[in-house]
Structure 1
Amino acid sequence: MNPELLTSFNFLPLPLLATTEAESSSLILAGVLLSLAVIYLASKLGGEICSRINLPPVLGELICGVLVGISALHLLILTDIGETGTNSVIMDLLQATAHMEPAMFSHVFQSQREVISVLAEMGVVVLLFEIGLESDLKELLRVGIQSTVVAVIGVVTPLVLGTAGLMLLFGIPAVPAVFAGAALTATSIGITAKVLAEMQRLNTREGQIIVGAAVIDDVLGIIVLAVVAGLARDGQVVVRDVVYLIVSAAVFFIGAIWVGRLLNPFFVRMVNQMKTRGQVLLSALFFALILSYISATIHLEAILGAFAAGLVLAETEKREELQKQVAPVADTLMPVFFVVVGARTDISVLNPFVPENWEGLIMASFLILIAIAGKVVTGFGVFGQPGINRLAIGVGMVPRGEVGLVFAAIGDATGALSESLSAAIIVMVILTTFLAPPMLRWTFSLSEGPGDSPSVASLNSSTAEPVLVESERQPELVESETQ
């Protein structure tokens, strides 16, 4: 039980205290259930609307997340700093309908928020596991060098341009300028991968390079974050920690795939011998969660382990069966992630009629320009790929999403960022996150022609069926339909 809540009720007899704790747990569950109902309604409304106007559904989920979050309706209050829940409509509803004691309010709000945040993190873990299942390890290895080049350019270019520009044009001191420049290096692999899957472009050459580069970019982003956080906190960089992150990331990813491929035959034999329901799905999720746990414990992102697990299991004969079984799990958890990203976004910093926002908006304009240009140029680092859509690769690296917000939050926590610079980073994150999906669809449409549409073989088997063009259909079938 929460110590604060226990202190609040330390004057109560033990039986009454146990009743209060049970009531608190019931209220937390009620708050989580109501929050999930809001999330699913928002995701479906936004997704359906965007789908009907030929925009990526994930964009609708993000927008509706903003509407139900701290920027508009205040249904979901999920920010980590300075929130007590007094503005939460869901908490007000709980208080009105369940007659919640004032002493319980803070505990119920914090617990409900933490549960939803964990479910959102689980959503991106499952998303990356599914993306790994849909990816081709051999193709990823084949474009590995290109992906690495794209990732390195995508980290170095915005970091250097952003830092130098803030120092020279705005007179920002070195440490906060470096921190803001580091925030420009992030890429939200979750948002890009979801859009590619929706567009059925995940297994194209461009899609594989983007996914590979985004994974490497994520690892590089963790290293950059560790460096600048140490610089902001202590004024110095511990080389040992940086080397540790680089070596551990490489050893973990390569080792996980190598060991996983050795254990693949054992996995298939074990699953084939099981008689209980869900043996394929649960065994695969066990493997993915263990790798995610190992990745998190060595100070990497959990999604790195989930992606590695998906890549490994994609090489087994259970791949198609597993894709079909994972899809409902992903459909349940992924909307939580995308709506929560939107709900945490405070668009009030975009209001130009508030004088306090002007300095941040001016710096934000500069950061947005660098954020987009610094990633778009990455596509032109691809070599040996004639006819590839380099612009689409660059645009695919643009969205910052929740990763950029993490940089801003840590910058605030360390005291490295001023209010205006922090607001500028948040504006940059918002606009790159929302602009990237339609931009990605537009860049792919530029190269589409009669021979450029995605092949049936490259479609996600869990969401698409082979479609025969008129010339490929059997004459007998055409004749019978005519009759």
Structure 2
Amino acid sequence: MDFIGALCLLLILTTLSGHLANRIGVPSVIGQIVVGIIVGPAMLNWVRLDSSLNLFSQIGVIILMFIGGLESNLKLLRKYLRPAVIVAIIGVIFPVIMIGGATLAYAFSPLEAAFIGVVFSATSVSISVEVLRDYHSLDTKEGATILGAAVADDIIGVILLSIMISIMGTEGVKTSGGSTNILLIFAEQVAFFGGTYLMVRWIVPYLMQIGERLLMTASVTITSMVICLGMAWAADVVGLSGAVGAFFAGIAVAHTPYRETIENHMEPIGYAVFVPLFFVSIGLNMSLAHLGNSIVFVAVLTFLACISKLFGCGLGALLNGFGLSSSYMIGSGMISRGEMGLITAQIGFSSGLLSGTYYSDLILVIILSTIIAPFLLKHAIRHLPATDSADVSLDVQERVAENNRPS
């Protein structure tokens, strides 16, 4: 099946599955991931994740995080920066210790076990952003903490991955100057965040004003898209996820007079094609070929992948004064590994840190934990007392009830 035919099929199926998922009270992303599992190599093998679908998927996660930045409250992000960093640090330590320790029982070397722990220290907030958007919880203290922690988690993960590759003496991620240098990567990331501050404060407002003066249809939207893709590319160059750059691009555009216009234009662009394909691609990555031989290993790691983030990040939230319900929500929002886990595992595989068999098992664990995460986050949001979200202008519980009401 060629790309256009596959694209047509996937858009039909993701639309129907998303509708059905919402009707039965399940996050729509679950239905879209399940579509990828059913039509992909795991079951029917109708569609494979080729370079074209993968490109659309990457654009999807960038647009999704850009929209997440547009809808975020910068004041809340600043207010909860400290707890977000603590949540990220503890949320990295727990998976490295718990999962790294567990894999030692499967005859992995200490360095290999440590690397697997690093793989599961990563967090992909993209799926959590979608669930938070569905339930109108991005603009809450919990949502701000999850977003801030995910950014810090990404930075920590990149540093740990660089250290592991350097220790094991293999050739991994490349910079423009040659082999990875940890200090150089750190310096580049500091420069990126310095540039991001300039973008938010001065450059983006000026660029948006220029865009408004251009005699082109949707010139303001085109300008915002250039900013989004440019900052995503810059983040990728310095070793961060492109999603991080897109998120900060969204925050920058949100602090201009064009926020509402851009939000109204970007959602149809993203959700018509690109965002559904990102969620489908997660299912398309799944393979069940070796499941019979490693089902216990996969089950143990899946359990630990969920528990380590839930308890680690939840503990970090508790230590910062959040209540149990809020801590449960923050821990649930950090479980998803998504594209960050897949990227980290791929780097390890291409660097010779993982065998082909164990690489497939880790991919399956990443996907399973990513599927479980939205269910836990939805449950946490629905059981969040209104008093635990004083930063929200409307009661979250009423919005959740409205979201679950059949249309």
Q: Which position in structure 1 is the counterpart of 2:65? A: 128
Letter in 2 for 1:133: L
Q: What's the offset of the Cα at 1:420? A: 5.1
Correspondent of 1:363 among 286, 289, 297: 297
Q: What's the offset of the Cα at 1:268? A: 4.4
Q: Which position in structure 1 is the counterpart of 2:326? A: 389
Distance 1:41 1:225, change over 3 A: farther
Residues in 2 aligned to 1:311 and 1:322: alpha-carbon distance in whole angstroms? 12
Q: Which position in structure 2 is the counterpart of 1:149? A: 86
Q: What's the offset of the Cα at 1:445? A: 1.7
Letter in 1 for 2:157: G
Q: Which position in structure 2 is the counterpart of 1:180? A: 116
Compute the RMSD of aligned alpha carbons.
2.8
Q: What's the offset of the Cα at 1:246? A: 2.5
Q: Which position in structure 2 is the counterpart of 1:5? A: none
Q: What's the offset of the Cα at 1:450? A: 9.1
Q: What's the offset of the Cα at 1:49? A: 1.4
Residues in 1 aligned to 2:392 and 2:171: alpha-carbon distance in whole angstroms? 53
Does residue 411 (structure 1) correspond to residue 351 (structure 2)? The answer is no
Q: What's the offset of the Cα at 1:456? A: 5.5
Q: What's the offset of the Cα at 1:233? A: 4.5
Q: What's the offset of the Cα at 1:385? A: 4.0
Q: What's the offset of the Cα at 1:287? A: 1.4
Q: What's the offset of the Cα at 1:223? A: 2.3
Correspondent of 2:135 among 183, 199, 202: 199
Counterparts of 1:84-483 in structure 2 under 5 Å?
A: 113-167=50-104, 169-234=105-170, 241-331=181-271, 332-350=273-291, 354=292, 357=293, 360-377=294-311, 378-382=313-317, 383-385=320-322, 389-418=326-355, 421-448=358-385, 455=392
Q: Is the contact made by 2:111 and 2:168 (CA closer than 8 Å) also made in structure 1?
A: yes
| CA offsets 1:205-228 (integer angstroms, 9 cap, x no match) | 111111111122122222222332
Residues in 1 aligned to 2:171 and 2:232: alpha-carbon distance in whole angstroms? 32
Instruction: Look up the SS of the partner of 1:185 in the other structure.
Output: coil
Q: What's the offset of the Cα at 1:419? A: 5.1
Instruction: Look up the SS of the partner of 2:383 in the other structure.
Output: helix
Q: What's the offset of the Cα at 1:173? A: 1.0
Distance 1:303 1:413, change over 3 A: same
Residues in 1 aligned to 2:51 and 2:171: alpha-carbon distance in whole angstroms? 32
Q: What's the offset of the Cα at 1:402? A: 2.6
Q: Is the contact made by 2:342 and 2:366 (CA closer than 8 Å) also made in structure 1?
A: yes
Distance 1:202 1:243, change over 3 A: same
Q: What's the offset of the Cα at 1:231? A: 3.5
Paired residue total: 390
Does residue 52 (structure 1) correspond to residue 16 (structure 2)? The answer is no
Q: Is the contact made by 1:205 and 1:388 (CA closer than 8 Å) also made in structure 2?
A: no
| CA offsets 1:155-184 (integer angstroms, 9 cap, x no match) | 1211122222322x3332122212211111
Q: Is the contact made by 2:32 and 2:280 (CA closer than 8 Å) also made in structure 1?
A: yes
Q: What's the offset of the Cα at 1:264? A: 4.3
Q: What's the offset of the Cα at 1:240? A: 7.5
Correspondent of 2:14 among 43, 55, 59: 43
Q: Is the contact made by 1:412 and 1:422 (CA closer than 8 Å) also made in structure 2?
A: yes
Residues in 1 aligned to 2:238 and 2:186: alpha-carbon distance in whole angstroms? 11
**TM-score, length of structure 2 as denominator length:** 0.87
Deviates more, 1:235-244 or 1:178-187: 235-244
Q: What's the offset of the Cα at 1:55? A: 0.5
Q: What's the offset of the Cα at 1:361? A: 2.5
Residues in 2 aligned to 1:435 and 1:236: alpha-carbon distance in whole angstroms? 30
Q: Is the contact made by 1:126 and 1:306 (CA closer than 8 Å) also made in structure 2?
A: yes
| CA offsets 1:422-470 (integer angstroms, 9 cap, x no match) | 34423321221111111111112222459969956699xxxx9xx9xxx
Distance 1:235 1:33, change over 3 A: closer
Unaligned runs of 5+ residues in structure 1 are 1-29, 79-112, 468-483
| CA offsets 1:184-214 (integer angstroms, 9 cap, x no match) | 1111221111111112111111111111111
Correspondent of 1:61 among 32, 56, 59: 32
Q: Is the contact made by 2:325 and 2:380 (CA closer than 8 Å) also made in structure 1?
A: no
Instruction: Look up the SS of the partner of 1:49 in the other structure.
Output: helix
Distance 1:38 1:456, change over 3 A: farther
Does residue 76 (structure 1) correspond to residue 47 (structure 2)? The answer is yes
Letter in 2 for 1:344: N
- Larger relative contact order (CA 8 Å, sep ≥ 6): 2
Q: Is the contact made by 2:314 and 2:330 (CA closer than 8 Å) also made in structure 1?
A: yes
Instruction: Look up the SS of the partner of 1:389 in the other structure.
Output: helix
Distance 1:445 1:405, change over 3 A: same
Residues in 2 aligned to 1:386 and 1:446: alpha-carbon distance in whole angstroms? 12
Unaligned runs of 5+ residues in structure 2 are 403-407
**TM-score, length of structure 1 as denominator length:** 0.74
Q: Is the contact made by 2:282 and 2:367 (CA closer than 8 Å) also made in structure 1?
A: no
Distance 1:236 1:116, change over 3 A: closer
